[in-house]
Amino acid sequence: MKDSPMVTMKAARAVQENPSVKTLYFDYGLGARPGQFVMLWLPGVGERPMSISYCTRERFGVSVADVGGFSSAVMKVKEGDAVGFRGPFGTSFKLGKEKAIALVSGGCGCAPLAFLADEALAKGKKAFYLQGARSKGMLFFTERMRKAGAEVLVSTDDGSAGKKGFVTELLREVLQKNKVDKICTCGPEIMMKKVVDISNEFKLPCDISMERYMKCGIGICGQCCVDPLGIRMCTEGPVIKKETAKKITEFGKYRRDASGRRVPI
């Protein structure tokens, strides 16, 4: 386990991406890898793990979905407000010799995958950026990804943008028409389970980002251990290979809340 000192600084930018997602940017060289997270701290509110959605030498961003409690407090943060963070923590998506990768997200899962797409494109790889959302108004980062040079495909539940239906159907279409070397996914576990099934069908490697309730974020408290392996998703995760996910019996079935009780997914 490796902790990192808390840094407190003013948010350089606060962008409302859609009605329930906000991105906070900090002018700080975090040196993070795609898929890692920071522990974000709001004075008087508390601390929670948040996905890094953007990272350059000088600036990084975290994107936060409003699911109540701490995240609702983040929605009120404005440019210039003081915020603390520790990190980066956790495992990251790995890129090797792949020429083309497919990034498949649902909901706020697009946050780490946008960061990964930036890195893949900078390395000259082709990136298919597939994003599923409830409706057009919930999509974000798609314009950023188009401008960066990714091939962007979207699906919505109501058909208000892109293909009506599941993002996994888009993945199947992309794989049927293109040579893709690796899949990376982040989002609801039911979706990621389907992505893993499709990756098996097409015999492709697949990395997933598996989120669990965290307290310490650095491997001490045991809150984020998963059944039956007992690995900690804050240190041995959140990014794991599909072969590891296959051994985690709770993947796609249940998670644990703050008190350790099982909650069906």
Q: What does the binding site for ligand FES look like in residue numbers (CB under 6 A)?
A: 214-217, 219-224, 232, 234
Residue 167 CB contacts under 8 Å (≥ 6 apart), including other chains: 104, 105, 106, 130, 131, 132, 154, 155, 187, 191
User: To the nearest whole angstrom, how small is the minimum distance from the Cβ of residue 237 to ligand FES?
Assistant: 9
Sheet with 37-42, side-by-side order of all strands:
7-10, 82-89, 37-42, 46-55, 60-65, 21-26, 13-18
User: To the nearest whole angstrom, how small is the minimum distance from the Cβ of residue 232 to ligand FES?
Assistant: 4
Q: Which is nearer to ligand FES, 9 or 221 (CB)?
A: 221
In this structure, the number of other CB atoms found within 10 A of the CB of residue 122 comes to: 10
Q: Which is nearer to ligand FES, 172 or 215 (CB)?
A: 215
User: To the nearest whole angstrom, how small is the minimum distance from the Cβ of residue 49 to ligand FES?
Assistant: 8
Q: Which is nearer to ligand FES, 117 or 224 (CB)?
A: 224
User: To the nearest whole angstrom, how small is the minimum distance from the Cβ of residue 214 to ligand FES?
Assistant: 4
Q: Which is nearer to ligand FES, 196 or 214 (CB)?
A: 214
Pairing of strands 60-65, 46-55: antiparallel
User: To the nearest whole angstrom, how small is the minimum distance from the Cβ of residue 247 to ligand FES?
Assistant: 18
How far apart CA 250 and CA 134 sit, in angstroms, is 25
Q: Which is nearer to ligand FES, 3 or 181 (CB)?
A: 3
Which of 201-211 are b and which e, b meaning 16 or more Cβ less than 10 Å from the residue's Cβ? Answer: eeebbbbbbbb
3-state secondary structure at position 5: coil
What are phi and psi for residue 131, nearest 5 degrees? -130, 130
Rg (CA), the chain: 17
Q: Which is nearer to ligand FES, 22 or 232 (CB)?
A: 232
User: To the nearest whole angstrom, how small is the minimum distance from the Cβ of residue 234 to ligand FES?
Assistant: 3
Which of 94-105 are b and which e, b meaning 16 or more Cβ less than 10 Å from the residue's Cβ? Answer: bbeebebbbbbb
